[in-house]
Amino acid sequence: SDPRERRLKAIYDALDAGNNKKAIQEAEKVLRKEAGDSLCAKALRALALLRSGRLDEATAAASEVERVDTSEESVLQAMTYFYKESHRLDRIAAMYERAVQQQPKSEDLLTSLFMAHVRVLDHKKQQLTAAKLHRLAPSKNPYYFWSVMSVLMQATECGGELASKMLLPLAAKMAEAFRDRMNAEAEVQLYLMVLEMQERFEDCLATLDGPLSSLLSPQSTEMTRQQRMGYLEKLGRKQELADARWEDLTTEPNDWARWQSCIQSSINADISQGGDYVEADPRLSELQSRMDAIAAEHPGLSGPRLARLELMRRCPVSCRPETALSLMRSYFEAFASRPAVASDLLQFRSLLSETDENSSPAKLLELIRPGLPEWPKAAADADRQQLVRDLTARINYEQLSRGLLNKPMDAEQRNAKIAELIQAYRANLLDGLRPTEVQPADDLLLLAVSLHYDAWLVEDAKQSETHLLQALYLLDEGLSGSPSNYNIMLWMIRLFIALGAWTPASNLYERLDVKQILLESVGFVLSRQVARCGLLSQGLVMLNNTAMFYKNNWRDIVEHLCTAYRIGNFRKVPELSP
């Protein structure tokens, strides 16, 4: 093989292996032999220098390459990596502009130029480049639609009259001119996006029902059904929408979003026809009966029953606290041994009465209480599934109780409750769980910890550390029984920080293995506390780690914007754009 090729390959191999020092050496070998003629070797050397952290040298090496206009693919690719890794995405576009001037008829170069503009969100230049591509290859649809999408993105960016009077009509005209030549679902969706922005919802419906619908794939029927309902809603076609939604519900009678839509639709449709609901309205009771019928047809589903409560929330005039109480009671009794029942019900706590004792939160608890199973005890021969069900029912009750009752406990009540919870927790620890499994009784421990925490918040400084420490002892006990319970770990971090103890908090944070996107959604539990805890150098390590994630983010996200254009998933472009 060509010796030059071999020498270049050696550089590539070294770079791929992460051996930057070797890459630099190999590159310099090439440059000595070819008297500095190999632009590719220069570019690769710049990249290797960058990756070695030798920034000044890397920048100098890169400027040498930049001085020469080239359309050599290998150089362009190497420099693209260089610019990405040095966070200079704008330079990629400039480089490809120069390359295209040398080879104005290269589809590959123009495509790379287009993508370079995508990376810096330069929608205007995207449009111009896509137009050139279309002129070069008018039979390739994607280039044309990249143009349309670029106009759409310009409209999204600037809004106002420029968008509505100039850009969107342009995009629409472009799409409509190509209507007969559309041959992909992506193109239809793009057309719909334009129409949606123009609020031409009649035309959206016509498109979904017209000949273009043959381009929509079977796996998109769900999505297009949702789109259709969205258009009906915008057009204010309330009765049609209501009918469509109720039909939708019958296929998934436990889907919460569908229930909410149906309730919304029914209220709107009825009200628009005959005025606001009044109490004992026959239309209301008809709606309630309809819901009850679905509930009766599917006795195991919680959705229809919770929906009755949702109707009350949306339609306050229909809400009698005693009915709400009765519904909540029967919901609890039907489903108590399932998880999340307490949180299901707590969102409706406002439906109960604060003034009337007979429909108060306390009354609800009083009525539920007798039906609860006894506190279970884990024995060797116990039926585990039944035990977990019973535990869940009791946990739901305790959580419901805590969420419903507003008044703080006095010390005696609280201590009694804590003792009860801990006793139940300790009596229900299961043997033989894997380290990745969590003890079902853990929520009892966490409730006890919450009570200690409440006490700490309220009581004066002299006594407060006791509760904090008691909580930590319990959590420590819990963690040995459930080494994977992240809720226990999060609580411990919080309480250690409250004590100013950075190191144990930090150790637990390590154990949680917070990385990638979790740095954003969970990392703050520690990162916000660095200054407070005063261990600044340790804190800095943690913050640097987190900063790396943010620094590299944008560079990664724009690549997916490019992919979205390349494969024609146009809906994702605005979703991923800032």
Write out the residues near other proteins by the rule CB under 8 A. 217-221, 223, 254-259, 301-303, 306-307, 310, 338-340, 343-344, 346-347, 388, 392, 434-438, 484, 486, 511-513, 515-518, 520-522, 553, 556-557, 559-560, 563-564, 567, 569, 571-572, 575-576
Least distance in angstroms from the C-beta of 450 to other proteins: 15
Question: Do 273 and 297 meet the contact criterion of CB atoms below 8 Å apart?
Answer: no
Give the separation between CA 230 and CA 241, rounded to whole angstroms. Answer: 9
What is the smallest separation between the CB atom of 202 and other proteins, expressed in angstroms? 25
SS3 88: coil
C-alpha 438/C-alpha 488 separation (Å) is 10
Handedness of CA 66, 71, 75, 77 (dihedral sign): positive
Residue type, 291: M
* Cβ distance to other proteins smaller for residue 335 or 496: 335
Question: Residue for token digits 């071999």?
Answer: 6
DSSP per position, 177-219: HTGGG--SHHHHHHHHHHHHHTT-HHHHHHHHHSGGGGGS-GG
Q: State how far Cα 93 lies from the chain centre.
A: 31
The CB density around residue 219, as the number of other CB atoms within 10 Å, is 8
Q: How far is the CB of 358 from other proteins (least distance, A)?
A: 27
Between 219 and 406, CB nearer to other proteins: 219
Residue 21 vs 560, nearer CB to other proteins: 560
What is the smallest separation between the CB atom of 563 and other proteins, expressed in angstroms?
A: 5
CB of 234 to other proteins, least distance (A): 19
Task: State which residue, 217 or 289, has the beta carbon closest to other proteins.
Answer: 217
**Smallest distance from other proteins to CB 117, Å:** 18
* Tokens describing residue 138: 């008018």
Q: What 8-state DSSP symbol labels residue 165? A: I
Whole-number minimum distance, CB 344 to other proteins, in Å? 6
Neighbours of 384 (CB within 10 A): 11
Residue 26 or 310: which CB sits closer to other proteins? 310
Output phi, psi for 264, to 5 deg.
-55, -50
Q: Is the dihedral of CA 302, 304, 310, 316 positive or negative?
A: negative
- Judged by beta carbon, residue 88 or residue 515, the one nearer other proteins is 515
DSSP notation for 114-153:
HHHHHHTT-HHHHHHHHHHHHHH-TT-HHHHHHHHHHHHH
Nearer to other proteins, 112 or 392 (CB): 392
Q: Rank residues 103 and 343 by Cβ distance to other proteins and give the closer one.
A: 343
Q: Rank residues 332 and 456 by Cβ distance to other proteins and give the closer one.
A: 332
Q: DSSP letters of 79-124?
A: HHHHHHHTT-HHHHHHHHHHHHHH-TT-HHHHHHHHHHHHHTT-HH
Compute the least distance from the CB of residue 225 to other proteins, in Å: 13
Could you tell me the smallest distance in angstroms from the CB atom of residue 101 to other proteins? 31
Least Å from the CB of residue 220 to other proteins? 7
**Hey, what are 132's tokens?**
């050139």
Residue 221 φ then ψ, to 5°: -60, -40
